[in-house]
Amino acid sequence: MRPSPLFKPIAALGTTQTLAWASSYYLPAMLAAPMAADLGLSTTLVFAAFSTALLVSAVVGPWAGRAIDLRGGRSLLMGTNLLFALGLGALASVQGPLTLFAAWLLIGVAMGSGLYEAAFATLVRLYGSESRRAITGITLIAGLASTVGWPLSALMESHLGWRGACLGWAVLHLVIGLPLNAMLPTPTSPDRVPIAAPVSLTEPSQEAHRPTPPALTSILLAFTFAATWFISTAMATHLPRLLNASGVSLAIAVGIGALIGPAQVVARVLEFGLLRRIHPLLSARLAALAHPVGATILWTLGAPGAAAFALLHGAGNGILTIAKGTLPLVLFGPLGYGVRQGWLMVPSRLAQASAPLLFGLAIDRWGTGAIGLSAAIGVSAFVALMLLRTHRA
């Protein structure tokens, strides 16, 4: 049986996205403490530098999306591998706060043009409205980024130190990420996905009926994405500490945190198979409830409910990550997808940037009660999704 023509792009992008997320978004959770101790800085300052990278990525995102709309994503993604390698190499050589922030600024540029939004836009530029399964496919692979990234960062740090771990990730971008992104096809037809003048977020599409007004659709999507990214980033940076506050030992908390990756993958397998006939808006609504339900279990049961919470959070986050790629495609169509996606994700990047600090302060003040904050944000995302209406949903 001949493999699907989507197999190679999905495998390549899935692998490079795993590498990109593991070496940026999931890096501080393992390296912030040894980095701060070695440099004589507070971990809060290290996370502040990471938050700065997320702010930079918000600025870069719309530009990167527009570039992909015009020329495809192959060259841009190859460039981000070089930027990631340069930024991680700079991070390995920092000596104080100024060089720390400068290194994370470089990584922030790479994140803004090399994470999921750029990969989704690359697929839509290649395959148009038929991209849903491909988007699901790459998130299916990259859902293991934390499961791979956290242990590998910890392993490299224990043997090579935190500087050696940063250099190790830089080398992986050059020897794995760069060749795989170079394998991606380039758009053969410039009009497969028509590129018009700069696209407004409220521009109507003829491909999808939207009873919800376009401007309100954009606002609700942007809010939903921001809310769910706040939760995802808060859990990525503070989950072991949150579980520790609920009575779970730190070692077991790290093990429970590792369940999130497999839970994401299982949920995405369901999306790839059983749920692919369901409108993505419906699956997103169900997924938005997963974190609040899990939070209620953790709040009620304490330590015995920790594993259930991790599994529910992971499953919901897994499908919501796909929704960030598929909902704009279904609701607006492929025209100008990249730049629209870039603008829709600006509030998300701002939410990501604030999440490590704000949720850390919430844990300092309320302990395990901080889970109530993330649960309330999750419920608000569900309400926003309920306000979106399409006939097919």
Among 3.40.190.10, 1.20.1250.20, 1.10.1070.11, 3.30.750.24, name the CATH number for the domain at 200-393. 1.20.1250.20
Helix (H), strand (E), coil (C) string for 133-152: HHHHHHHHHHCCHHHHHHHH
| C-alpha to C-alpha distance for 291 and 314, rounded to whole angstroms | 8
H-type helices in 42-144, by residue range? Answer: 43-71, 74-92, 97-114, 116-127, 132-142
Residue type at 304 in one-letter notation:
P
Provide the 10 A C-beta neighbour count for residue 273: 10
pLDDT tens sequence for the chain (393 residues):
455 667 788 889 999 999 999 999 889 888 988 999 999 998 888 988 988 898 898 888 888 888 888 888 888 999 999 999 999 999 999 999 999 999 999 999 999 898 988 888 888 888 876 777 788 888 888 877 877 888 899 899 989 999 999 999 999 999 999 999 999 888 765 544 444 333 333 333 444 444 566 788 888 999 999 999 899 888 877 887 788 888 887 778 878 877 887 887 788 777 766 666 777 788 889 899 999 999 999 888 888 888 899 999 988 988 888 888 888 888 887 778 887 888 888 888 888 888 877 888 888 888 888 889 999 999 999 999 998 865 444
Q: Do the beta carbons of residue 22 and residue 169 sit within 8 Å?
A: yes
Q: Does domain 1-186 have CATH number 1.20.1250.20?
A: yes
200-393 shares the fold of 1-186: yes
Give the start-to-end residue ranges of the domains of the chain. 1-186, 200-393
